[in-house]
Amino acid sequence: MNRQKAFDTAYLGVIKKGKPSMTKGGGCVYRGPNRRKCDIGQLLTNKEAEGLDSSDDTSVRKLFRAGALPARFIEADLDFYDELQSAHDQAADTSKDFLDAFRANMATVARDYELTVPA
């Protein structure tokens, strides 16, 4: 999956749900209540996401190095996937409107990687 496709999938999936993927305690998760998924969660099948949220450290980089992510997550793109994850997590942690913060964060990712934000 190229960066633009990953970006589009993550962006549109989160926008469709309209809310962050979080536990009741406020922590971000790949698979949350009400079938919500974070940016990276949008890129994983249910089987691939199984058990990821129970890890002590659920950062993309640590999960990749532990062999817990599928092969399509290549090391050369870890910075990109980290930024996708942060775009969701930082928006979820803000007191602002989640979707406004998420869109702004994703616009920054798009600019950093010369991608197009879906309409």
The span from the CA of 38 to the CA of 20, in Å, is 7
Per domain, the residue ranges of the chain are 3-112
Give the pTM.
0.86
Q: Which two tokens stand for residue 11?
A: 């962006």
**Which residues, in sequence order, are CB contacts of 20 under 8 Å at separation 6+?**
14, 28, 32, 36, 38, 88, 91, 92, 98, 102
pLDDT tens-digit readout, 46-96: 898 888 877 666 788 888 888 888 888 888 899 999 999 999 989 998 867
First to last CA, the chain: 20
pLDDT at 55: 64
Q: Which two tokens stand for residue 76?
A: 């050369």
The torsion region of residue 38 among left (phi > 0), alpha (psi -120 to 50) and beta comes to beta
